[in-house]
A and B are shown apart, each in its own frame.
Chain A
């Protein structure tokens, strides 16, 4: 599948982090970018839209990113959720992977990292 066919979700309570990611991802010409400002919204919007890849913060109100990823993976075991957090400690990394996250990236995130993840996602999706 080409980049223009994939749907991306960004779940982060920081308006700044969401905008920066959206601004960059929009330049790559993906099909759709879905925003969620907390863990609860992330789960709801995932179920409604089934994006191809999710960038998920950990520290968020209502429901943490770890709780959200567990619910998303329970709903869709093939979900691709990348944890994107400023708190990249070994414990958080382990919790994220055990919850079902595919990968973990430490903030600040570079545009190159995002582009590689999206290109790989596009290759994986048939």
Chain B
């Protein structure tokens, strides 16, 4: 999931466009990691050194790794270790953006350094997809620490993104959140979580995006929004919220229930308590998620 937030960081910094990210998320499936990007990420080489090796490689018939050792930038052990590590998702995204010319190696080096510093992340944190670091990243990204129930918002959103990756796809970019008091959209699915505390959760989107989201979850094609499409989006929400209640029960001893989902087409929902609007930009368009706790 670090790849999606790294993509959002690049977008926010103006280093890439939303279109660049859409293309890169699609292309990264076929991207092979290059030693230069791995070495930059590990802090073993600078982008200038990588460029130097790239230029040198044009005039000699030698492998990139061998040249790095010959030029004194890496040891044999460094090369072996870097090549043996599994490429992480955010590195594949970075490599894809470098390959397509959207970013240079120097842009990537500066961006990855700033991203890690801003979020206090080490290489181990990112490659291990550690839950606590992920929660910290999400809480910081959405400024949940300003909310009274920061833990609930953070854990709900962390699970939501895991379920989006699991059931919809990983080709999305989280966009900045906002606080809302009402929600108006062509299609809204709402589900209340009740019990030890009460929350309202929603998925909202325009027609084309709503259908595309449903198509991904159902793994079938739709031509119009009908009851089945509503039920499909409703089931995504039900599964996600169900897993959330299981986590709350198992990890915190908090017992919650789910109300049946409500479908609101071309409607407006007014929240009793302030709600976090969490927009997510997919390759097929934008879908909004809402959580209000109180």
Contacts and interface: CB of A to CB of B under 8 A. Distances in A.
Interface of A: 13-17, 19-20, 59-61, 85-91, 106-108
Given A16-B228, A59-B260, A89 B255 contact: yes
Most buried by A among B232, B242, B259: B242
A14 B242 contact: no
A59 B260 CA distance: 6
B228 A15 contact: yes
Interface stretch (B12-20, B52-60, B243-251, B271-279): B243-251
Contacts of A13: 260
B228 A86 contact: no
Contacts of A59: 238, 257-260
A24 to B, nearest CB: 12
- Give the top 10 A-B pairs by smallest Cβ distance, nearest first: A86-B242, A89-B249, A15-B231, A16-B231, A16-B235, A16-B232, A87-B242, A86-B238, A86-B239, A14-B235
B218 interface: yes
Interface of B: 167, 218, 227-228, 231-232, 234-235, 238-239, 241-243, 245-246, 249-250, 255-260
By secondary structure, the B interface counts as helix
A85 B218 CA distance: 18
B216 to A, nearest CB: 13
A108 B166 CA distance: 11
Contacts of B167: 108
Nearest to B241: A86
Contacts of B218: 16, 20
A14 B246 contact: no
Contact of A87 (B232, B235, B246): B246
A109 B218 CA distance: 13
11 contacts: A14-B235, A16-B228, A16-B235, A17-B235, A85-B242, A86-B239, A86-B242, A90-B250, A91-B249, A91-B255, A106-B243
